[in-house]
Structure 1
């Protein structure tokens, strides 16, 4: 990893706590590969219908112009993106595909309505990749090229290939923070409003700040141990070893491509916590100095989770019978409890659950609940006590 890539990777992870910095990150990518612009696409659900949004984009685009394009060309983008999903459905790698796959000839490609609109902006060729294979309707990366140049070459592809897994992980972990940002100005200063555990660690692993949910998890489970000097440890030996590797080497992050939740530390103590770590190099809320610490996110998958089961079914190819179990699993019910409520045998529910895990590439129920959370789950606490925003203690 070169110093330039390392620095940009750290900025990518900083965007988890400071979502407004995504524009700067994408601008640097655009400049490095000689592109015209870059967009992160996402489909959001509104009154049961999916609508195309662009939560993050490079500075080449204005928000108004981009919104106009999305309204007029959503149906055409939907067709293009479905091709990408079909082409890359069977593996976890992030693969950038050229727009040459979208039409049998350059002439026919140029005749498409949305391509013509882009050509008016001086753009022709595009390349795109799915950044989240759990929910393929979120986090689609796209880069647009000047009409005077050829598609991405191999050097440019190799450069992007080093960074896209980190972008995928940062986008995945930023969903709770984005919900916070939509309601509150600060992110780290409002972490008590999240229903997932957040713990800010310095470079040595010492606790700098933690929210109420993380403190509850510490009191409820045996997963975490805090040393007398304030260092956070995971009591499970393998979990602690993995945590230390993530803290010691930036290269250990982003190794699971378009399924970043596979990087989670799942407790081996039969507890439902799903622990994820990302670097935090610098944040305006912490101060102007370099911080070089970490954000640890801990999700209690034993708490009830609701999601869009229709999209879960589509994403993982579940049968109707399997889909009917999704909400029950999200509510934390055991297989015998599900069998009793549904009037089915435990063996039947066991078989259906095993099939769900296989289809969703999850090794256990904790991972599956974690994957469910990318289908419309809310991360904002409904507890009135937690709505009071307090500055995290010991913020540097």
Structure 2
């Protein structure tokens, strides 16, 4: 758990990460160190018992300058014998912690957060080294928590989309700028589970080999920035080779943004469609063909394109020269406003779901 790592880094015995809801005047525990998790019921009971006492300190903490540690003496200035209060005595006896200090990590949004570090009860002072370590880690922890909070909201909000996404015959997922997969449909989950060129690692979408992964990450970043007007990479596509060397994945990446509340206003993400020709997606070219005015011959060629056939294959199937096949494919792409075959398949796939 991240709290255990941060506690060790800061040279303290334990740590709790808290979130405060200013509208409801309530706080909740987001994470705690192992010493508290071992006695979850006891810790929860103490939190409920001394909630009002701790809330006084938390409200004072949230008025403190961001990322500047605040000692227990500053959090409870009206308690001269702080270490002798009932809460400190009881937590010392049960968990072996005494002095404590906290850091305000709140941003400009409606939610506020901070963390509290607990020093070994045998120490009478809080070391300057621990205070400096807390100051160093606070901005990074705040950024991580803000991203996690945003992703949790989005998962709940866009969960209603899953029923629709699961009916699609292609893989679809929404990812954040750094590649975190926020939601995915069943087809995408199946692709990730295969680990045959594209998968998930630590919650992020990754591709194989390394060159493909670097290009995928670059495209996601630029596409996500396009969603909020900070870049100019619109709908784009790439091919990812499979480890098994079977037919590759065709990937389409589109900007995805959200103009919701303060928490989500800076969302920069991407909508990714994953086409796996080996899974035989059932694409119907006709609906899209009618929109762009394809001829019956072009519809047949478009169906072959969506089935993964190359220009050479199409030439053999239709009994024409490779030059003719390439010319017909070029004409189809021009009519459909697609710069390549991957985008053509993605457009056909999007329309054929409805």
TM tier, shorter chain? Answer: 0.3 to 0.5
**Normalised by the size of structure 1, how large is the TM-score?**
0.43
Q: With structure 2 as the length reference, what TM-score do the two structures score? A: 0.47
User: Does 1 or 2 have the higher relative contact order (CA < 8 Å, sep 6+)?
Assistant: 1
